[in-house]
């Protein structure tokens, strides 16, 4: 491993100089570990006050008063809330706002204030506030004094409050956010939308993201574990600090269990107001490796002592695994080849907006795991820390991405405005925060950046990444991969990321500059559809898109076409489909903005063609406010192609899936094609017991089986799939009876009474036999009894303007979703009731612990 360029010297043993410092009561370290960092970290999410200026939800403006940071500012009438908070998700949806950012009023100026006290015992301590992310252009004051700024809304950052804090008295922190001077190609959310933490340390402590663990040699018998610890001395005296780290296994509940090794204690001398990096090494015998099937982890518990007294204690969860990327062997995790079956995703959580919620994110990952997803691309920005924690825990590999543009923006007020001053700080923040996560296996410096052909900038950014973490490859997602490779820009990368355009792949595999460079489909498919909608002849109707999985924009393709490309280039490491979930904004092809023209930057005739289409669409003012790209809809319900990916990504799972539904009263005797996704190789389709023939996939060519000449008659469609001549899986689709009742089910029977653990309740409109009735959209009214609260509702319809907070919602093609939380501290249970005219009421009860 290359030595990192640091000014500080590595100092190992020095003479002791005594220092009197106040000591923390540092908890025993066998507690559940919530996050990497100082043990003395507490949530700072509760009890904020909020007020909005500038653009208001209805489009009017309220002038921003001066001195809102002042301690004299009256804030008693401000809205009381807890973080995370996304001020835009409350809407309303407005047809005059562009669909690209979700038709939600996210632009504005938001002020947050919090009154808090730190105990008199904290005298002499360092007090930090850590923001996981604040959208955007954050400026922070404490007690009226300016503390600092961090413009990029996706970066995590720390502010040192120490110089301004008043111990034993009330303090007021004020945060100003401004999304009026920020642009986005998707719904960015607005506000302090991630968690905030208060960290108290002694003046001598492990620095912010101050540990870096690498495992340069790993065998089944032994793993070498290298640890670099940055120790800050924020006192005005030189100190001798004893730094020591013990390593424990970490169980699935994030509790340290068995101790496996420890480093030798190292004494370091640190000058006043400076820091030192200590580097030590130890070995873990018979290491339990982290991988995507068994995500084993360890935790390093570092202590810093002065004169025998403990002054700081710091946790670093990590995993032991090897990663290897090769143009010939592919990607190897712990020596075994893994094909990357990935999805790209934006950060919003559908009806919850951008406000981070761990249970919502966990649900998204669980659904994707079921589909066979093994990797996630954090398109196109640093993710919430919770995403990496969950990826570590659940076994996902992460392509961790920094930017959507560099010096040249895709929009007016893009990252281009802050690139010069901030790109290095933002990149460092991403890498220092994330480099101990075993799930993170690729760094990405960008996505389709307008300057992708620029050799110098590419090298500059790649160099920063390699300096901060030389153990993972650096990549970039190219939508102009040919011109960029021609120009030589990717030469300084380790991995070539190709978005969509693989036409000249064979040429580059032979080019001496790139032949040893592994290639990845960093973005693929972009198939568009609406769950449960099937059209015949024209894929696009009523602002919806047919779910036959045949529609895609000019630059995209069907999943099948991409599988064929992958089969043609077996050296490619795999793909990241655009996207796993539908997201707020970018409702291509019903966009009313011109961002997607960027996809054809180099082809003027395509730009002109798209421009024309766009003008026509704009005139019609589409109601679409969320994407159609998801394999899974915004409410978390799988669309048909979920099963296409599952058939390829989980080939050992016996499965078959028929589409469309079989309720086509108006299509009597009309040709109604039937498609089947299966992990088998052959299938026979039956309509009302009569065989419509057996079909076999051509290896590498067919990824679905199609019966194109089926004439509709009501009844039962059944498919029997075979693999290697043996019966493998079946699926049945029946013509249903009339809608008769509402059936509710919940993703978990028990949730925690902590305000943040959410239950996801699926509502189905069914007939008397319990079959979900397609093409039904009844208005459903939701209510709740007991210890719960309805947080949001959704149905996956990209054109619905019903606010997500509404307790009334139409089903969309027979389904709806209710998101419920338990009231803090109120144990017991709650029952969600769903009512609709003419339908039997549905109920589900959830326990609260
Ligand atoms: C890509 C772009 C994504 C998204 C996608 C839609 O070119 O990187 O952010 O816009 O197109 O197909």
Q: What is the pLDDT of residue 597?
A: 65
Q: Which pLDDT value is given to residue 604?
A: 78
pLDDT exceeds cutoff 60 at 559: yes
Report pLDDT for 606: 76
pLDDT bin (cut points 50, 70, 90) of residue 611 is confident
Q: How far apart are CA 124 and CA 117, in angstroms?
A: 15
pLDDT for 725 beyond 50: yes
Residues 146 and 231 in one domain: no
β-sheet bridge partners, residue 751: 848
* CA–CA separation, 206 and 243 (whole Å): 9
Backbone angles phi, psi at 372, to 5 degrees: 105, 10
- Check: CB of residue 15 under 8 Å from CB of residue 270: no
Residue among 599, 601, 628 whose CB has most ligand 1 atoms within 8 A, to mutate: 599
Domain final residue, candidates 734, 754, 776:
734
**CATH number of the domain residue 552 falls in:** 3.20.20.80
pLDDT score recorded for residue 612: 84
Phi, psi of 733 (to 5 degrees): -125, 130
* Domain shared by 431 and 520, yes or no: yes
Residues 701 and 561 reside in one and the same domain: no
**How many domains is the chain built from?**
5
Nearest atom (ligand 1) to Cα of 379: 9
Q: Is 527 a member of any domain?
A: yes
Give the start-end residues of each E strand in 181-329: 196-201, 204-218, 222-233, 239-250, 256-262, 266-270, 274-285, 297-306, 309-318, 323-326
Q: So what's the pLDDT on residue 788?
A: 96
Averaged over 793-819, what is the pLDDT?
A: 98
Which residue lies with its CA nearest to atom 3 of ligand 1?
578
Do the domain assignments include residue 627?
A: no
The residue whose CA has the least distance to atom 6 of ligand 1 is 526
Contact 685, 732 (CB under 8 A): no
Mutate to test the pocket of ligand 1, among 523, 555, 562 (most ligand atoms within 8 A of CB): 523
Residue-wise pLDDT for 291-324, tens only, equals 999 999 999 999 999 999 999 999 999 999 999 9
Same-domain check for residues 693 and 615: no
- Kindly report the CATH number assigned to the domain that includes residue 194: 2.60.120.260
Mean pLDDT of 627-633: 98
Q: Is the pLDDT confidence value at 7 over 60? A: no
At 14 the pLDDT is 30
pLDDT, tens digit, for every residue of 250-275?
999 999 999 999 999 999 999 999 99
- Check whether residue 728 and residue 777 sit in a common domain: no
Determine which helix (DSSP H) or strand (DSSP E) holds 805, and give its type and residue range. none
Q: Which of 734, 761, 794 is the last residue of a domain?
A: 734
For the cut 70, the answer to whether the pLDDT of residue 512 exceeds it is: yes
For residues 728 and 656, membership in a common domain is answered with yes
Same domain, 34 and 63: no
Domain co-membership, 675 together with 766: no
In a domain, 333, yes or no: no
**pLDDT (average), residues 341-345:** 98
CA distance 408 to 479: 15
Is 632 inside any structural domain? no
Report whether pLDDT(485) > 90. Answer: yes
Is there a contact between 127 and 199 (Cβ–Cβ < 8 Å)? yes
Residues making up the chain, counted from first to last? 849
| Structural domain for 682, as ranges | 651-660+664-734
pLDDT at 544 over 50: yes
Q: Which of 756, 769, 726, 739 is nearest to 824 (CA)?
A: 756
From the CA of 596, give the closest atom in ligand 1: 10
Categorize the per-residue pLDDT at 607 as very low, low, confident or very high, splitting at 50, 70 and 90.
confident
Choose which residue among 345, 401, 596 to substitute to test ligand 1 binding: the one with the highest number of ligand atoms within 8 A of its C-beta.
596
Summarised one tens digit per residue, pLDDT across range 151-196 is: 999 999 999 999 999 999 999 999 999 999 999 999 999 999 999 9
pLDDT digits (tens, 9 = 90+) for 764-786: 999 999 999 999 999 999 999 99
**Mean pLDDT of all residues in 514-529:** 97
* pLDDT, mean of residues 700-707: 97
721 and 774 part of one domain: no
Segment 748-754 mean pLDDT: 96
Taking the centre of ligand 1 as the mean of its atom positions, its distance from the CA of residue 840, in whole angstroms, is: 43
CATH of the domain at 718: 2.60.40.10
Per-residue confidence (pLDDT) for residue 598, from 0 to 100: 64
Does the residue 353 lie in any domain?
yes
Decide if 840 is inside a domain: yes
pLDDT at position 595 is 66
Do 475 and 358 lie in a common domain? yes
Q: Does any ligand 1 atom lie closer than 6 A to the CB of residue 593?
A: no
Residues 444-458, mean pLDDT to the nearest whole number? 97
Closest CA to 396 of 440, 334, 351, 457: 440
Q: Does residue 633 belong to any structural domain of this protein? A: no
Is residue 306 domain-shared with residue 448, that is, in the same domain? Answer: no
pLDDT band with cut points at 50, 70 and 90 for residue 619? confident
Closest of 526, 585, 532, 581 to residue 551, by C-alpha: 526
The pLDDT > 90 percentage for the chain reads 91
Using pLDDT thresholds of 50, 70 and 90, give the confidence band for residue 599. low
Q: Average pLDDT over the chain, rounded to whole?
A: 94
Average pLDDT score over residue span 15-43: 62
Domain termination residue (choose one: 153, 174, 201):
201
CA of 220 to the centre of ligand 1 (A): 41
pLDDT at 600 over 70: no
For range 784-797, the mean pLDDT? 97
| pLDDT given for residue 811 in this prediction | 98
Residue 626 lies in a domain: no
* Same domain flag for 168 and 279: no
Rounded to a whole number of angstroms, the CA Rg of the chain reads 28
């Amino acid at each position: 491993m290359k030595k990192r360029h640091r000014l500080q010297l590595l100092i190992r043993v020095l003479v002791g100089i005594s220092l009197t410092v106040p000591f923390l009561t540092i908890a025993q370290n066998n507690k559940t570990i919530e996050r990497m960092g100082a043990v003395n970290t507490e949530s700072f999410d509760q009890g904020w006050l909020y007020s909005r200026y500038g653009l208001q939800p209805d489009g009017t403006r309220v002038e921003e008063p001066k001195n809102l940071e002042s301690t004299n500012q009256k804030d008693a009438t401000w809205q009381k809330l807890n973080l995370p908070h996304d001020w835009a998700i409350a809407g309303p949806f407005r047809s005059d706002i562009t669909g690209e950012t979700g038709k939600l009023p996210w632009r504005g100026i938001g002020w947050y204030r919090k009154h808090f006290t730190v105990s008199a015992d904290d005298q002499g301590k360092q007090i930090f506030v850590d923001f996981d992310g604040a959208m955007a252009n954050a400026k922070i004051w404490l007690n009226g004094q300016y503390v600092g700024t961090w413009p990029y809304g996706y970066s995590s950052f720390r502010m040192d409050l120490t110089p301004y804090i008043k111990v034993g008295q009330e303090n007021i922190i004020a945060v100003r956010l401004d999304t009026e001077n920020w642009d986005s190609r998707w719904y960015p959310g607005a506000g302090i939308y991630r968690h905030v933490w208060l960290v108290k340390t002694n003046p001598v402590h492990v620095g912010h993201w101050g540990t870096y663990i690498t495992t340069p040699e790993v065998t089944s018998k032994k793993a070498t574990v290298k640890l670099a610890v940055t120790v800050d001395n924020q006192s005005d005296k030189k100190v001798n600090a004893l730094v020591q780290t013990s390593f424990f296994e970490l169980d699935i509940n994030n509790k340290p269990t068995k101790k496996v090794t420890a480093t030798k204690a190292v004494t370091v001398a640190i000058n006043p107001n400076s820091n030192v990096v200590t580097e030590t090494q130890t070995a873990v015998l018979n290491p339990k490796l982290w991988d995507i099937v068994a995500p084993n982890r360890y935790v390093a518990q570092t202590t810093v002592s002065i004169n025998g007294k403990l002054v700081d204690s710091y946790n670093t969860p990590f995993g032991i695994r090897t990663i290897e990327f090769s143009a010939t062997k592919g990607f190897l995790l712990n020596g075994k080849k893994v094909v990357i079956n990935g999805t790209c995703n934006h950060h919003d959580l559908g009806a919850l907006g951008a406000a981070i919620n761990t249970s919502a994110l966990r649900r998204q990952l669980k659904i994707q795991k079921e589909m066979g997803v093994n990797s996630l691309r954090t398109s196109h920005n640093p993710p919430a820390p919770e995403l990496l924690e969950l990826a570590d825990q659940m076994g996902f590999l992460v392509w961790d991405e920094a930017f959507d543009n560099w010096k040249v923006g895709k929009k007016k007020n893009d990252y281009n405005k802050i690139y010069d001053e901030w790109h290095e700080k933002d990149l460092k923040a991403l890498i220092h925060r994330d480099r101990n996560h075993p799930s993170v296996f690729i760094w990405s410096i960008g996505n389709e950046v307008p300057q992708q052909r620029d050799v110098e900038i590419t090298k500059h950014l790649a160099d920063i990444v390699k300096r901060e973490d030389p153990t993972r490859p650096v990549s970039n997602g190219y939508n102009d991969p040919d011109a960029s490779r021609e120009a030589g820009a990717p030469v300084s990368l380790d991995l070539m990321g190709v978005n969509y355009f693989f036409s000249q792949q064979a040429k580059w595999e032979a080019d001496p500059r790139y032949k040893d460079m592994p290639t990845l489909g960093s973005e693929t498919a972009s198939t568009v559809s609406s769950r449960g909608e099937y059209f015949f002849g024209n894929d696009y109707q009523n602002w919806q898109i047919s779910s036959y999985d045949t529609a895609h924009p000019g630059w995209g393709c069907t999943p099948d076409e991409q599988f064929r490309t992958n089969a043609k280039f077996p050296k490619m490491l795999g793909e990241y489909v655009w996207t796993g979930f539908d997201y707020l904004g970018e409702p291509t092809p019903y966009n009313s903005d011109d961002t997607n023209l960027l996809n054809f930057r180099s082809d003027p005739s395509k730009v002109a063609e798209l421009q024309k289409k766009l003008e026509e669409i704009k005139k019609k003012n589409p109601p679409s406010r969320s994407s159609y790209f998801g394999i899974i809809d915004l409410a978390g319900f799988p669309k048909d192609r979920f099963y296409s990916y599952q058939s390829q990504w989980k080939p050992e799972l016996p499965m078959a899936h028929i589409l469309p539904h079989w309720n086509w009263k108006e299509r009597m005797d009309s040709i109604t094609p039937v498609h089947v996704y299966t992990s088998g190789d052959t299938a026979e389709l039956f309509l009302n017991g009569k065989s419509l023939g057996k079909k076999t996939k051509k290896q590498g060519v067919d990824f679905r089986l199609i019966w194109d000449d089926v004439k509709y008659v009501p009844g039962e469609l059944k498919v029997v799939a075979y693999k290697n001549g043996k019966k493998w899986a079946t699926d049945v689709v029946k013509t249903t009876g009339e809608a008769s009742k509402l059936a509710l089910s919940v993703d978990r029977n028990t949730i925690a009474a902590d305000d943040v653990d959410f239950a996801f309740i699926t509502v189905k409109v069914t007939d008397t036999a319990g079959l979900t009735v397609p093409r039904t959209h009844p208005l459903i009214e939701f209510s709740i009894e007991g210890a719960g609260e309805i947080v949001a509702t959704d149905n996956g319809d990209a054109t619905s303007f019903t606010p997500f907070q509404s307790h009334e919602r139409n089903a969309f093609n027979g389904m709806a979703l209710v998101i419920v939380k338990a009231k803090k501290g109120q144990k017991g249970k709650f029952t969600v009731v769903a009512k609709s005219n003419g339908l039997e009421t549905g109920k589900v009860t959830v326990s609260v612990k």
